Chains A and B, each alone.
Chain A
Amino acid sequence: MIALTSVLTLGVTAVLAAGPVKVETQVVHASNGPAHVDPGLEKMRQGFEKAGLRFSSYRRLSQQTLTLHPGKPAEVSLPGKTATLTLQPGEHARPHVAVSVPPMQTTVELGTDASAFLQAGPHENGQLVLVLTAKK
């Protein structure tokens, strides 16, 4: 009975750890054009400003929810380039996602109440920002 219990416990743990993860991705154009902040980006604007990055315009160019499977790359289209997201395999309490958005490569551990903002290069007198948030 103990052996069977252990097998069931390990099985449940493995299933939960290896499951797919949903990640919300947004592509935001931050610039110093006419003042404008798209709905839902005010928190981003405040965070940037406190970090010393002051833009007057934050416009969301795209938004989608990706389902990431361990080891399988998923792509996000940005103007003029493509970002690649890969869920790192292994047992983690929170999803570890490798992100390649030229010229940067990074690995972030995502949470559901916070976002990762990655500079994704210049675009139309501003900067592209790739925003990643794990969905509950």
Chain B
Amino acid sequence: MSLNPATLQLLSAYVDGELNASDRETVERALTADPRLREVERSMRGLGAAVRALSEAEVAAVDFTGVADRVLGRVSRRPGVLDRFREALRRPWLPVGGLIAVAAAAFFFLRPVEPPASAAGVVVQSVTADTPAQLQPVVLKTETGDAIIWLVEHPDASGAHRPTVLPNDKPTQAPVPAQPQRPRAGEL
């Protein structure tokens, strides 16, 4: 058996005890016949022993005391849902905060529904005037929800009156367009 890489690989496997019976017998025959191969085999066994001895010495020098505790200490142990709930209940702010949240939710759900301001606009609930009989206050609603409260001479019961103003201050009379939001008779 010549000393080629394949032979050395086979010899290494033999030293490590990894060969089957047939290969082991082949190698042993070669070792018997070739003194150079025996020399290599001794060197291999010596090197392996030295490596093992060195590894054992390194392992012996390492202190593994408390390693398990340190590892377990680094692992975050999450408590169960029930434990976390119990822990939260022990905090004083949670019941108070929960009550406030419930109260706020109840307020928003139970409050009276307010119509949009743009839809309702200004609502005149009552209006009176200490004026002569021929002058009466009326409410004129604009398209944008505004309310004009104005004194009118002899307001028409149908509501189709034309607003006028006090003497000496009459504005230019303009044609009164159709006012779908104009107050109906008796609305005031």
A interface, CB within 8 angstroms of B: 1, 4-5, 8-9, 11-13, 16, 30-32, 43-44, 47-56, 93-94, 96, 102-119, 121-123, 125-127
Contact = CB atoms under 8 A, between A and B. Distances in A.
A47 B127 contact: no
B25 interface: no
A47 B61 CA distance: 97
Nearest to A46: B142
Interface residues of B, number: 52
Interface in B165-186: 165-169, 171-177, 179
A126 to B, nearest CB: 6
A52 B176 contact: yes
A54 B111 CA distance: 42
B3 to A, nearest CB: 91
Contact of A125 (B122, B146, B169, B179): B169
B128 to A, nearest CB: 5
B123 A8 contact: no
A5 B174 contact: no
Given A108-B125, A113-B117, A127-B166, 20 more contacts: A8-B103, A13-B111, A48-B148, A51-B176, A52-B175, A53-B148, A94-B120, A104-B128, A106-B125, A106-B126, A106-B137, A109-B120, A110-B122, A111-B118, A111-B120, A114-B144, A114-B146, A119-B148, A119-B149, A121-B166
